[in-house]
């Protein structure tokens, strides 16, 4: 291929270039529509649970009553982590970021739950199910354990009688959440569980294409998610809202940002050209939560920023994304800011595993081309002449 032809095909970040086929999720960014396995996210948020949604993503269909009961029961019994993994976590510095802790401990899991190594990538259905149960079930425990251990507290053992969302909040705080808090966390997990081929999901399938073990694949995904251009945007939104401080300062803040052509945290998305449907759902959840826990001036500032931006950024397709309201919801639930991205991973692991499972049947390693822009034909220069 000639060099000018290569350049014509080049798209930074692979923007707009299909690299795989998938039946897991789809997005229509022009109208703000997201589906998991053909079911729109609004229906799942209203009628499903995270456990059921995870089954749907991983296995490709809604479970029967018996299938869901069995999956949920197994998932609850896979929540515990080995004491040696806890011992390893005790060696982490107190300053370790929760994402670094999570990535490390997920990689470590591969040594404690080894799978057969072969060159054809074949895993039995039993092995695949155990992997999915281990990772979906244990990630909340790993996040909650580190959150407490870094403060010098003992981890709180998981409870089998609580839902996935309820148990996670319980392990974080030591208090059983109210039904509303549990439901809101459940929906937040559902809307974060999958979103087509984002950076962390792409990391999952690229790693999986080498036939690396699934714990390595998910560790790679967590590493991608830890980057500030992928995860962590909801933290930036809260920092912005705290910086504004009062709703009366929102207009001046937005005007100043627009004058300087600076980005507004939580506004804009690579896919959506209208408001992210997940942002709408999280905003509605927050309003529900205030009925039980009271108002928060931070939300008033966020709402004002969204309102003011409609006629400027909104007209250009730059609208609230999922991170614009998720941080406000998590803060209202009493969750520390640096746990927001680990919670993203706790939810997204179901989607990552669905893509890992789908990739098992492909057996073709990713090997994209590059465009070389360096020099050619150079001679080696001896040290005394450099």
Name the phi and psi angles at 81, rounded to 5.
Answer: -110, 150
Written as one string, the DSSP assignment of 106-121 is: HHHHHHHS-----SS-
Helix (H) or strand (E) holding 33: strand 33-36
- Scored b (16 or more CB within 10 A) or e, 300-311 reads ebbbbbbebbee
CA 216 to mean position of chain CA atoms: 16
Name the phi and psi angles at 271, rounded to 5.
Answer: -105, -50
Contacts of 60 (CB under 8 A, 6+ apart): 23, 37
C-alpha span between 320 and 108 (Å, rounded):
37
Residue 345 exposure: Cα atoms within 13 Å on the Cβ side: 36
C-alpha span between 211 and 124 (Å, rounded):
14
Alpha-carbon torsion (266, 268, 269, 275), positive or negative: positive
C-alpha span between 122 and 357 (Å, rounded):
11
C-alpha span between 45 and 127 (Å, rounded):
30
Q: For tokens 């011992």, name the residue.
A: 87
Please give the radius of gyration of the chain, using alpha carbons only, rounded to the nearest integer: 22
C-alpha span between 375 and 277 (Å, rounded):
47
C-alpha span between 380 and 386 (Å, rounded):
10
Residues taking part in catalysis: 269, 323
- 8-state DSSP, 30: T
Are 365 and 206 in contact by the 8 Å Cβ rule? The answer is: no
Written as one string, the DSSP assignment of 177-196 is: PPHHHHHHHHHHHHHHS--S
């Amino acid at each position: 291929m000639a060099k000018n032809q290569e350049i014509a095909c080049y798209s930074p970040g692979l923007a707009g270039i299909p690299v795989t086929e998938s039946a897991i999720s789809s997005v229509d960014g022009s109208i703000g529509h997201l589906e998991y396995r053909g079911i729109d996210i609004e229906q799942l948020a209203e009628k499903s649970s995270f456990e059921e949604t995870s089954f749907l993503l991983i296995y490709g269909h809604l479970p029967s009553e018996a299938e869901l009961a069995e999956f949920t029961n197994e998932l609850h019994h896979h929540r515990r982590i080995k004491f040696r993994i806890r011992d390893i976590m005790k060696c982490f510095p107190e300053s370790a970021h929760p994402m670094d802790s999570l990535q490390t401990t997920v990689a470590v899991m591969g040594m404690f739950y080894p799978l057969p190594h072969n060159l054809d990538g074949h895993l039995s259905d039993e092995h695949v199910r155990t992997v999915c149960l281990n990772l979906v079930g244990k990630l909340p425990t790993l996040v909650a354990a580190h959150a407490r251990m870094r403060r010098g507290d003992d981890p709180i053992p998981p409870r089998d009688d609580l839902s996935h969302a309820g148990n996670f909040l319980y392990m974080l705080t030591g208090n059983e959440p109210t039904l509303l808090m549990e439901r809101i966390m459940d929906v937040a997990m559902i809307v974060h569980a999958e979103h087509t081929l984002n950076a962390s999901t792409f990391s999952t399938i690229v790693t999986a294409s080498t036939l690396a073990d699934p714990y390595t694949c998910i560790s790679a995904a967590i590493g991608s998610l830890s980057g500030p251009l992928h995860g962590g945007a909801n933290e930036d939104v809260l920092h912005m809202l705290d910086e504004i401080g009062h709703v009366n300062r929102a207009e001046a803040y937005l005007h100043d940002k627009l004058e300087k052509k600076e980005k507004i945290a939580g506004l804009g998305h690579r896919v959506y050209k209208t408001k992210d449907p997940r942002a709408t759902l999280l905003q509605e959840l927050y309003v529900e939560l205030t009925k039980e826990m009271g108002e928060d001036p931070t939300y008033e500032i966020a709402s004002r920023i969204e309102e003011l931006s409609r006629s400027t950024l909104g007209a250009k397709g730059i609208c609230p994304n999922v991170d614009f309201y998720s941080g406000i919801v998590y803060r209202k639930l009493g969750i520390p800011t640096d746990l927001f991205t680990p919670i993203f991973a706790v939810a997204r692991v179901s989607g990552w595993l669905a893509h890992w499972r789908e990739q098992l049947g492909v057996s073709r390693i990713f090997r994209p081309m590059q465009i070389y822009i360096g020099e050619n034909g150079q001679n080696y220069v001896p040290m005394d002449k450099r």
